[in-house]
Amino acid sequence: MADGDDDVPLILTWDDANSGLVVEEEENGVGNYDIVNNVIIPTSGTADPRPQNSLRQSWEMNYQEAAIYLQEGENNDKFFTHPRSANALSAYLFAHNHLFYMMELLTAVLLMLLSLAEAPAVPFLRLDVYVHATLELLALAMVAFELCMKLRWLGFHTFIRHKRTMVKTSVLFLQFVEAIVVLVRQTSHLRVTRALRPIFLVDCRYCGAVRRNLRQIFQSLPPFMDILLLLLFFMVIFAILGFCLFSSNPADPYFNTLENSIVSLFVLLTTANFPDVMMPAYSKNRWSCIFFIVYLSIELYFIMNLLLAVVFDTFNGVEKMKFKSLLLHKRSAIEHAFQLLVSRQRPDGVSLKQFDGLMRFYRPRMAARDRFLTFKALNQSGATMLSLSDFYKFYEVIGLKWKARRSGEYWFDDLPRTAFLIFKGINLLVKSKAFQYAMYLVVAINGIWILVETNMLNDGVSWTRVVPWSYIVFLTIYGIEVLLKLTGLGPMTYFSLGWNLFDFSVTVFAFLGLIALAFDMEPFYFVVVLRPLQLLRLFKIKQRYRNVLDTMFELFPRMASLGLTLIIFYYSFAIVGMEFFAGVVYPNCCNTSTVADAYRQINVTVGNRTVLEEGYYYLNNFNNILSSFVTLFELTVVNNWYITMEGITSQTSHGSRLYFMTFYIVTMVVMTIIVAFILDAFVFRMNYSRKNREPLGDPEEEKGIVFETEVSQTEALQTMDLYRHTLRITNLSSLQSMYAALERCGQPSLVFLGRRSRTKSDLSMKMYEEEIQEWYEEFSRTNLQPDETFQQSLNSPEVSTTDSIN
């Protein structure tokens, strides 16, 4: 009766229906632990009085709760949001599936997209007031519904004590009222609060990365602010000094009042008005350049870099603490789950039966074979049960993709002899150095060709309908290469390498371009000019480039989330900008400002032709959300941003400058964080590769994490038996096919390989190896009283609760 149904769980969970032990939870209690402490557990070995059926139900409940714990560990949800009753559980399950997440995301995106259609709208997307206000009300109702589900799951007490949710609720209320007002008045009023809409997006489950970024930004803020104050302080000192020195010069408009002096030096901090700001003073007295050189040296070259250093330093620490807290949170989740999976009879091990039960909740779509193999991978000691220390590896093995080890090396091993020899030849060819370098040569010639060809077109491209022959020749070569590699290596091996994927997609794009050229599809011409991307392959030759480009690809997901964070800031600023500055600049406006030239649009007669002389800056406006985004990007790049600022200031009021200066400082924070992030990631990679003496980006290394596990025929039979009879699972096709494979190969056992790609967490694990042991020891010391640890982890600053609920 090793895994029989009469095992009794050590800990009973929500099945209050059976035990009748409903305990009113304390406010901060951790749910089931409280229940456990109040249960008088019968000593081990005593027959359980409850009927089999309720026992199975109670196991099912335990599996589910353990799965939820593990889920919470994976998502870094704090345990104080753990559902504590059957009601809460159903709400929890409702609110934790991809359908719900998707709905959440779509609602938030819809709300944000509304600003495309609200006045001032993008011309071709304009909607009537009642249409977009109704849409908005609908979306807000959806959000309200989601919040209700959350309230049900969390309970009122936890709900009102969770800051982010409360902010969301109040913003929701405000938006509701405003949307109704808009609908009633049939016209939009000054709705600056629309700038708060990104809160709904940030709160989405899928935007966890954005939330993490935002938290990192906020954590870096205090030291940043300190240095910023120092920066502004020097600015004011120099502004006073500059005002005293240069205000006597009537030709100098930059320092004629103290306000202008401060604004000039603020803009000078961004270098946008240099050297113009210096010129009037410099033309009067050559030594005045010293003032500007000293100012720039202190502010731009010293304090601004200090700012980066401080943020980098904070960032570094925050990254490590975050990793630590995540690691310990996962460990604690595993411990909770383990407690729920052991039976009263054998309290120090989890059997396959219990593990399988857990996995059916944790990964409902996982095949029985993979569940079994995962259990085997965890079970390194070879015992029938998983000990806690085995179970600690849970998160490492859970993402593995299992495959039987192939007896042969090549995909064409099973083909007939002739075919085998042909493919073997191709395989040797594409793997040879000569082939590789020949391809590099072709790419290099292609590069030079494109350059020469483009240079000969110097009088403008005329989009010739005739396809150039060089294009066809090179494309044929690339096509043949792709085909050879595909057949020689097999599609699986070929596509497993990022570089091949890149080659393939560039070649396919080039073919599409050719088709576009041949069939005269004008809008797709741009595909043709992507040809030079092939040249990027040349960078594979050198190790350092492989490192850099690999790091680049690794950074992309994180960069994308940072970009999204930036877009959220853009959105808020764009809304505010549109509310205040929509339509204020137009051609030939701003004649009273110093930047009138940039807005001028006049017809000038040159010889006998009339030419339109354009200042173009009227295009940098806030007339709709798309224009606003472009304008804000220009402000981010900083160069000449003061022209936009001065133009709008001259049409509105001096207070507008505050908007632009605030925006500059906000983007400076985000940009500094981006720089710090790239620095950190790159230096981390470099240190890692130095520490482990592994060449990064080596093809051997890209295989990621591999686990091996051996399955014998008898074991397979036993497992099938267990699944069929004891667990009564009917869908055993995966196990049957495994057994068939075992029989087919003719050997007594078969090795299965579990693979997954290496994550940042794996690298960190290796980097901090020694420290991790210390953390664990410290953790288990403080972990004697589980309840206390939770309280600590809630109160400790590292594990901030802002990111807790979903």
Residue whose CB is less far from its own copies, 206 or 616: 616
Secondary element (H or E) of residue 668: helix 656-691
Pick the closer one to its own copies by CB: 640 or 793.
640
* Closer residue to its own copies, CB minimum distance, 175 or 273: 273
Which residue's CB is nearer to its own copies, number 218 or number 233? 233
Q: Which residue, 391 or 664, has its beta carbon nearer to its own copies? A: 664
Cα–Cα dist 618/277, whole Å = 23
- Could you tell me how many residues of this chain bind its own copies (CB under 8 A)? 92
Would you count residue 586 as binding its own copies (CB under 8 A)?
A: no
Q: What are all long-range contacts of 677-682, with beta carbons under 8 Å and residues at least 24 apart?
A: 677/315, 677/558, 677/562, 678/555, 679/312, 680/312, 680/315, 680/316, 680/319, 681/551, 681/554, 681/555, 681/558, 682/551
Report CA 748 to chain centroid distance, whole Å.
45
514 binds its own copies (CB under 8 A): no
Sign of CA dihedral 643, 648, 650, 651: positive
272 sits near its own copies (criterion: CB under 8 A): yes
Give dist(CA 693, CA 22) in Å, integer.
57
Cα separation, 14 vs 32, whole angstroms = 7
Residue 258 interacting with its own copies (CB under 8 A): yes
Binder of its own copies out of 486, 678, 729, 794 (CB under 8 A): 678
Q: Does 634 bind its own copies (CB under 8 A)?
A: yes
**Between residues 472 and 529, which has the closer beta carbon with respect to its own copies?**
529
Identified binder of its own copies from the candidate list 59, 200, 243, 663, rule CB under 8 A: 243
Q: Which is nearer to its own copies, 542 or 703 (CB)?
A: 542
* Residues 165-224 interacting with its own copies (rule: CB under 8 A): 223
Q: Work out whether 455 is an interface residue with its own copies (CB under 8 A).
A: yes
Tell me: does residue 539 bind its own copies (CB under 8 A).
Answer: yes
Among 428-436, 455-463, 748-756, 782-790, which window interacts with its own copies (CB under 8 A)? 455-463
Q: Coil, strand or helix: which one is 449?
A: helix
Which of residues 103, 196, 296, 516 is near its own copies by CB under 8 A?
Answer: 296
* 789 neighbors 782 (Cβ within 8 angstroms): yes
**How much is the CA Rg of the chain, to the nearest whole Å?**
33
The tokens 């889920």 sit on which residue?
A: 71
Q: Assess 448 for contact with its own copies (CB under 8 A).
A: no
* Binding status of residue 131 toward its own copies by CB under 8 A: no
Residue 268 one-letter amino acid: L
Residue-by-residue DSSP string for 235-282: HHHHHHHHHHHHTT-TT-TTSSSHHHHHHHHHHHHTTTTTTTTTHHHH
Identify which of residues 130 and 616 has a Cβ nearer to its own copies in the complex.
616
Window 341 to 380, contacts with its own copies (CB under 8 A): none
- H helix intervals, 249-393: 258-269, 279-284, 289-296, 304-341, 352-362, 368-378, 388-391
The answer to whether residue 521 forms part of the interface with its own copies (CB under 8 A) is no
**Which residues, 648 to 677, sit near its own copies by CB under 8 A?**
671, 674-675
Per CB under 8 A, does 515 bind its own copies? no
Strands 609-614 and 601-606 turn out to be: antiparallel
- The yes or no reply on residue 244 touching its own copies (CB under 8 A) is yes
Smallest separation (angstroms) from its own copies to the CB of 731: 48
DSSP letter at 798? Answer: S
Tally of CB atoms within 10 A around 216: 21
Residue 672: Cβ within 10 Å count: 21
275 binds its own copies (CB under 8 A): yes
Select the residue interacting with its own copies from 141, 441, 501, 686 (CB under 8 A). Answer: 686
Three-state SS letters, 731-797? CCHHHHHHHHHHHHHCCCEEEEEEEECCCHHHHHHHHCHHHHHHHHHHHHHHCCCHHHHHHHHHHCC
Among 532, 557, 583, 699, binds its own copies (CB under 8 A): 532
Asked if 279 touches its own copies (CB under 8 A), the answer is yes
Judge residue 571's burial from the number of C-beta atoms within 10 Å of its C-beta, 0-12 exposed, 13-18 middle, 19 or more buried. Answer: buried
**Cβ 681 to its own copies, closest distance in Å?**
8
- Taking the complex as a whole, how short is the minimal distance between the CB of residue 568 and its own copies, in angstroms? 17
- In order, the DSSP letters of 102-119 are HHHHHHHHHHHHHHHHSS
Among 103, 221, 548, 767, interactor with its own copies by CB under 8 A: 548
Residue 275: cis peptide before it, omega within 30 degrees of 0:
yes
For its own copies, what does the binding mask look like between residues 298 and 327, x meaning CB under 8 A?
A: --xxx--xx-xxx-xx--x-----------
Q: Which residue's CB is nearer to its own copies, number 437 or number 539?
A: 539
Beta-carbon contacts of 459 under 8 Å, excluding residues fewer than 6 positions away, are: none
Question: Is residue 231 a contact residue for its own copies (CB under 8 A)?
Answer: no
Shortest spacing between CB 561 and its own copies, in angstroms? 14
Choose one: 272-280, 370-378, 774-782, 796-804; the region binding its own copies (CB under 8 A). Answer: 272-280
Residue 209 or 536 with smaller CB distance to its own copies:
536
The piece of 82-90, 113-121, 176-184, 243-251 that touches its own copies (CB under 8 A) is 243-251
Among 3, 276, 396, 762, binds its own copies (CB under 8 A): 276
Output the smallest distance, CB 734 to its own copies, in A. Answer: 44
Judged by CB under 8 A, the stretch of 210-218, 238-246, 403-411, 575-583 that binds its own copies is 238-246
Instruction: Give CA–CA dist 588/616, Å, rounded.
Output: 10
Map tokens 């632990």 to a residue: 33
How far apart are CB 721 and its own copies at their closest, in Å? 57
Cα–Cα distance between 583 and 624 in angstroms, integer? 9
The residue among 354 and 620 lying less far from its own copies, judged by its C-beta, is: 620
Which of 119, 181, 241, 422 forms a contact with its own copies (CB under 8 A)? 241
Distance, CA of 281 to CA of 274 (rounded, Å): 12
Using CB under 8 A as the binding rule, whether residue 125 contacts its own copies is answered as no
285 contributes a contact to its own copies by CB under 8 A = no
- Give whichever of 95 and 318 is closer to its own copies, judged by the CB atom: 318
Residue with tokens 């093809």: 699
**Is residue 542 a contact residue for its own copies (CB under 8 A)?**
yes
